[in-house]
Structure 1
């Protein structure tokens, strides 16, 4: 099955661990994490020949890269491999899943497939999680791993990362979310790795800022010092030398206080001052580390914003004479062709490298897209072939589709140009072989990103890394922050491995070591096991929500369907309308709420409203508390609809399950998600029946009945006749006829 591959000793050692335990592999870029995944893939398919292998990775270019790598390494028919992208329709994905053995995909699309039950995770014998450090928070990796461990007959997880996290909390979160049972870590200094490591020459190029930039810098620094002194006087900070991280933490704390109902003039003033400070600080960062024109563009955006906004922080900032002076001087210098000294330095470095070896390949990393564009322009003035490589388009910025990204990388590999100028999108995993030089336009404070940037060179030959630093700026602080974080990360990982070795405590409810089916292996019922018989219909438009994910994890029998009323149908009598705090207040302001309440009450005997959010409902928007209280009284007393307040999607899911348990009879197998209507007129019944057809709903039902007059005429009509109704196109007409003409079966 394996083609001409000889694993190294450390890869065999890591494989031995990964074959018996869910394992997180931490290995520097270019040292063969993918080969370990391929070797484990072979092993699992031999143990479970009818099973499938699933590899998830953050981006489409990475998925395509792994797809081709596995095809080249494994002696299997081409039909055994499938690449899932967002361009593959769900129906085709379901077919490909059934027919394929090894599937490569991004997690977001797969998450929808799992929720829709179009794929079966129980037959997957290995889940490979690439760039595993992303498995934190609400990223799709987290839900997929939990669903996989819950349903798989032969569960095994392999996490791959060059840098899983900078602190113990993040690393432990990654391990918990992926159900990791062991960690295999290697550094460039480990004796079993060192023979395979290419030399890496790293140098730090210090650059002095000219007096013109330093003058503008002093004006902006004076604004920051002034604002922070005022915050200190208000009693919220002890020193005016607070770091950006401390300021962001204070800002978050002040907003949380406001959300809890506390609102003082000192609070409001401090929030405004912090907003001004953070805006100026970003301008300072651009000026110090990126370029004068980038800083000018940002300052001008603030000036433009001040003309259109009522926000005091922006208006006060632009009115400050020091801001006006900094803006004027930036304009004058930019008009005179003045540039940050990093730009000519980086051009000079590239010219020298390509003069010595015209076949050299160079990657230049920069934090900002605008800087990348200016570097490309500067290189072109010297006749150097270069291309920018960025993520997908953002408002007002350069962007590239994933197809164009793949094409650009292919051209770079083929030598059609020498210099790739990239933002963070090129930091993760992309295999760009034979890159001789990596240049950092600026240091990054993140250890993960620094490791990933360095890893683009020194894979096959000696690598060279050059880092540009503006002396006396945050560049220097970022250099040492990254250095210490990386050292701390390796220390934490080694301590964690020792701890795991001592405890040997499985991370999952059942061991994954056995080769026999594991589902139902525990004898004690879990808290939500009895909920597996609770049938809940969810509106398909909610399919990406965390509430749905948590309902599935809690064992609900969840079915996605188009619901005309409400978001979660629990029985023919009970429906739940789910809103976030902001949604609730917005629907009150725009007038949608009252009609929704009428429809809820008209269609269901016991509708409920869940309002979710950590923020107080009275603090969500600039709405008088009496208006909120009045609406709540109208809902609960006037309409008789209970309102349940929850803080998180987990709490919302628990409440929906609790309602379902109370409402549903265990012996009932199904119910109509369209509600148990009260006494209807013939007209209402006709509208209701028509509204239940795919894509119709209450608003479109009336024009249809006006057109055809009777239900008989409607269901007997042709697609051509249906398309004569406004808002019914070919797709809706075909869906309606399919419902009318297809034979009913008792198979779902």
Structure 2
């Protein structure tokens, strides 16, 4: 057995594998996407590339992964195989000031992308001397995900940039793969499949078995009622011109896309108030819900099916209420309640586990739904020799509390130590967690995603032969998903090989956008919109704790930004008017930007109510209202206003605006509201108690603490602001 011999690689830790060395040689000077089956050492390839880049260009290497457990896992692998002392991992829990120092002193940094994104925006991290950034789970590099922003800024700023993307599957849609390649500035693709000649001898055999069960006759009767209801909704959509055909074969994806299309069309024509849109949205929403119910019946059984409709009863949406009150659905539910037959998958699962538990040390059962996962655990724990545990995500759902990260870690440690020998997991176990390789992976149902199928399958066969069993119900969605996932995986490899052959080296490095020194925008540190990322490419962005508004563009202009959904939510709870009042009282030119093209279709609020609220904001509060279609357009407007305001004369932008005319009482409140942690209510209390601004400024700590709402910490901070010298 031959090992890599290098001063920066620990002795006898990294086996010399020709395919890994070939990939390293191909990728060390070109931005590359590396697509390898799970368990073939993507992290080791990244480690060897790190050694090369640090020796050639010095600088630093950043390794990004989407979750904290993955960040720690990669850090541990590098620590095990590399002789590099200056390595560190951190997430958002590490203080910004500490991170700034770590960037200066460390050679290899492991982090989640959100942390790096924030530190680039805040200018805590300079990318100039970063010699390589590794993007793990690179298929996420689409849309507004942080990877996209980081890659763009890196290619603009880096002196010797190199991007390496790692993934087991970038997907099967050509446009999505193309988007990943463009967003990561990829010049080179290295792809291997299970059948690639240079990796065959390193691939452990994985025995894949597909087991079909019959769909019970009693269940078919329930399905007929659901199909009749669904057919009625599809006919409505067809009759009003939103669907070409009322075929029951329409997919969930097509229905979701239809909903988006209807809402966009509605927004373009909102003034016409065409009833067709509201009828279409109601029918589409009902159809989606019924399709989901049918999927549960076909793939999971009666109990998850009934539980789902029970949850629908508690939903406020009109479509949910209409479904529950439908005679067809009532008949379906009444029939379901009389059926005691359990879905045949459960008996088949029990039969398989009874046989496999004798030879398998550990097993993962993947289930799409939490309800089914719990039912599976209950069934399995009745069997001799089985110690099963449910493994789900952190979010809590109606009547079902999620697992904290600590709970997840504890369960995985006990699974690793054999306290549990079967993990019954939802999609949380597919990606982003350090789960040990297992002897058997069992799919309770197929999934139509090739990415998820590959990730599930990759949990076995890493160091020794493994086995995968997929259960599916014949002549149902299960069977359709079975064929879809197989076809998508083949298509993915075909597309990647085509792109690899077609890909030529291009000049992806864009001209660095010149940042105009005179343009600076102050942004509230709580603002999490993509607008902030876009602005940072065109002007100086300074993040501060703003008392009002989201963006300060000059001493007289402040902007409150709301997405259409945020605006409607704040309209429903009446918070918007207090926010508008605050910005109107604080700045000479207050602006409200409402962002998004779906203002009139997101919530069940009438268009008249929305228009009346906007008119009130303009007339009663003297606030300018601007509508934008997306974050990018918002950025362009903010930038143009800031340039126009700041080009006149170069001066610092105050955090708080300057109203030209205020009454004495307003001025007094305005001054006191500028003190740390002092709200409008607290400012009123202070002024009423001390009678003047002067008395507040000369009050002792003890006197300040007598005011309701002021504790020791707040009192200390107020006195510090008043007494400390200005530098």
Compute the TM-score of the two structures, normalised by the length of structure 2.
Answer: 0.91
* Alpha carbons 1:564, 1:698 under 8 Å: kept: no
**Do the aligned partners of residues 685 and 139 (structure 1) sit closer, same or farther apart at CA in structure 2, a change above 3 Å counting?**
same
Alignment map for 1:365-444 (pairs within 5 Å): 365-383=366-384, 384-396=386-398, 397-428=400-431, 430-444=433-447
Structure 1 CA distance for aligned equivalents of residues 651 and 257 of structure 2: 51
Higher mean C-alpha displacement, 456-465 vs 99-108: 99-108
Counterpart in 2 of 1:350? 353
- Structure 1 residue 734 displacement after superposition: 4.2
User: How many residues in Structure 1 have an aligned counterpart in Structure 2?
Assistant: 712
Q: Which residue among 552, 555, 573 is the counterpart of 2:536?
A: 552
- Structure 1 residue 505 displacement after superposition: 0.7
Counterpart in 2 of 1:611? 594
Structure 1 CA distance for aligned equivalents of residues 187 and 335 of structure 2: 58
**Do the aligned partners of residues 648 and 265 (structure 1) sit closer, same or farther apart at CA in structure 2, a change above 3 Å counting?**
closer
Alignment map for 1:324-723 (pairs within 5 Å): 324-333=330-339, 336=340, 338-355=341-358, 357=359, 360-383=361-384, 384-396=386-398, 397-428=400-431, 430-500=433-503, 503-509=504-510, 522=511, 529-542=514-527, 544-553=528-537, 555-585=538-568, 591-592=574-575, 596-615=579-598, 617=599, 632=614, 641-665=623-647, 668-680=650-662, 682-711=664-693, 713-717=695-699, 719-723=701-705
Q: Answer yes or no: is 1:66 the counterpart of 2:74.
A: yes
**Do the aligned partners of residues 117 and 722 (structure 1) sit closer, same or farther apart at CA in structure 2, a change above 3 Å counting?**
farther
SS at match of 2:357: helix
SS at match of 1:531: coil
Structure 1 CA distance for aligned equivalents of residues 716 and 159 of structure 2: 39
**Do the aligned partners of residues 416 and 587 (structure 1) sit closer, same or farther apart at CA in structure 2, a change above 3 Å counting?**
closer
- Structure 1 residue 382 displacement after superposition: 0.5
* Alpha carbons 2:237, 2:246 under 8 Å: kept: no
* Alpha carbons 1:24, 1:183 under 8 Å: kept: yes
Higher mean C-alpha displacement, 404-413 vs 580-589: 580-589
CA deviations on 1:133-189 (whole Å, 9 max, x unpaired) are 111111222222223333333322111100012111111111222222221111111
Structure 2 CA distance for aligned equivalents of residues 373 and 217 of structure 1: 24
SS at match of 2:721: helix
Alignment map for 1:109-128 (pairs within 5 Å): 109-128=115-134
Structure 2 CA distance for aligned equivalents of residues 610 and 247 of structure 1: 31
* Alpha carbons 1:227, 1:274 under 8 Å: kept: yes
SS at match of 1:541: coil
SS at match of 1:220: helix
Q: Which residue among 268, 280, 284 is the counterpart of 2:294?
A: 284
Counterpart in 2 of 1:268? 278
Q: Answer yes or no: is 1:256 the counterpart of 2:264.
A: yes
**Do the aligned partners of residues 719 and 9 (structure 1) sit closer, same or farther apart at CA in structure 2, a change above 3 Å counting?**
farther
Structure 2 CA distance for aligned equivalents of residues 469 and 738 of structure 1: 68
* Alpha carbons 1:57, 1:129 under 8 Å: kept: yes
Structure 1 CA distance for aligned equivalents of residues 653 and 314 of structure 2: 57
- Structure 1 residue 298 displacement after superposition: 0.8
Alignment map for 1:242-253 (pairs within 5 Å): 242-253=250-261
- Structure 1 residue 43 displacement after superposition: 1.9
Higher mean C-alpha displacement, 259-268 vs 658-667: 259-268
* Alpha carbons 2:63, 2:136 under 8 Å: kept: yes
Structure 1 CA distance for aligned equivalents of residues 276 and 582 of structure 2: 45
Structure 1 CA distance for aligned equivalents of residues 611 and 456 of structure 2: 54
* Alpha carbons 1:609, 1:643 under 8 Å: kept: yes
* Alpha carbons 1:30, 1:455 under 8 Å: kept: yes
C-alpha root-mean-square deviation of aligned residues, in Å? 2.6
* Alpha carbons 1:56, 1:129 under 8 Å: kept: yes
Structure 1 CA distance for aligned equivalents of residues 595 and 367 of structure 2: 39
SS at match of 1:121: coil
- Structure 1 residue 460 displacement after superposition: 0.9
Q: Which residue among 33, 41, 45 is the counterpart of 1:36?
A: 45
**Do the aligned partners of residues 180 and 719 (structure 1) sit closer, same or farther apart at CA in structure 2, a change above 3 Å counting?**
farther
- Structure 1 residue 558 displacement after superposition: 0.9
Structure 1 CA distance for aligned equivalents of residues 686 and 16 of structure 2: 67
Counterpart in 1 of 2:94? 88
* Alpha carbons 1:603, 1:678 under 8 Å: kept: no
**Do the aligned partners of residues 730 and 342 (structure 1) sit closer, same or farther apart at CA in structure 2, a change above 3 Å counting?**
farther
Q: Any runs of at least 4 consecutive aligned residues in structure 1 with deviations exceeding 6 A, and if so which? A: none
Higher mean C-alpha displacement, 200-209 vs 560-569: 560-569
Counterpart in 2 of 1:240? 247
* Alpha carbons 1:125, 1:156 under 8 Å: kept: yes
Counterpart in 2 of 1:196? 202
* Alpha carbons 1:602, 1:678 under 8 Å: kept: no
SS at match of 2:15: coil
**Do the aligned partners of residues 122 and 743 (structure 1) sit closer, same or farther apart at CA in structure 2, a change above 3 Å counting?**
farther
Structure 1 CA distance for aligned equivalents of residues 294 and 283 of structure 2: 16
- Structure 1 residue 112 displacement after superposition: 2.9
Structure 2 CA distance for aligned equivalents of residues 707 and 429 of structure 1: 55
Structure 2 CA distance for aligned equivalents of residues 540 and 602 of structure 1: 21
Higher mean C-alpha displacement, 280-289 vs 296-305: 296-305
**Do the aligned partners of residues 451 and 740 (structure 1) sit closer, same or farther apart at CA in structure 2, a change above 3 Å counting?**
same
* Alpha carbons 2:67, 2:432 under 8 Å: kept: no
- Structure 1 residue 250 displacement after superposition: 2.2
Higher mean C-alpha displacement, 630-639 vs 420-429: 630-639
**Do the aligned partners of residues 622 and 345 (structure 1) sit closer, same or farther apart at CA in structure 2, a change above 3 Å counting?**
closer
Counterpart in 1 of 2:214? 208
Higher mean C-alpha displacement, 565-574 vs 373-382: 565-574
SS at match of 1:533: coil
Counterpart in 2 of 1:26? 35
Structure 2 CA distance for aligned equivalents of residues 239 and 727 of structure 1: 62
Structure 2 CA distance for aligned equivalents of residues 545 and 15 of structure 1: 37
SS at match of 2:128: helix
Counterpart in 2 of 1:512? none
* Alpha carbons 1:134, 1:141 under 8 Å: kept: yes
* Alpha carbons 2:554, 2:646 under 8 Å: kept: yes
**Do the aligned partners of residues 174 and 718 (structure 1) sit closer, same or farther apart at CA in structure 2, a change above 3 Å counting?**
farther
SS at match of 2:658: coil
- Structure 1 residue 6 displacement after superposition: 3.0
- Structure 1 residue 631 displacement after superposition: 5.4
Counterpart in 2 of 1:6? 15
**Do the aligned partners of residues 579 and 268 (structure 1) sit closer, same or farther apart at CA in structure 2, a change above 3 Å counting?**
closer
Counterpart in 1 of 2:325? 319
- Structure 1 residue 275 displacement after superposition: 2.3
Q: Which residue among 690, 707, 713 is the counterpart of 1:725?
A: 707
Higher mean C-alpha displacement, 652-661 vs 622-631: 622-631
Structure 1 CA distance for aligned equivalents of residues 348 and 492 of structure 2: 33
- Structure 1 residue 272 displacement after superposition: 2.3
**Do the aligned partners of residues 586 and 463 (structure 1) sit closer, same or farther apart at CA in structure 2, a change above 3 Å counting?**
closer
- Structure 1 residue 256 displacement after superposition: 1.9
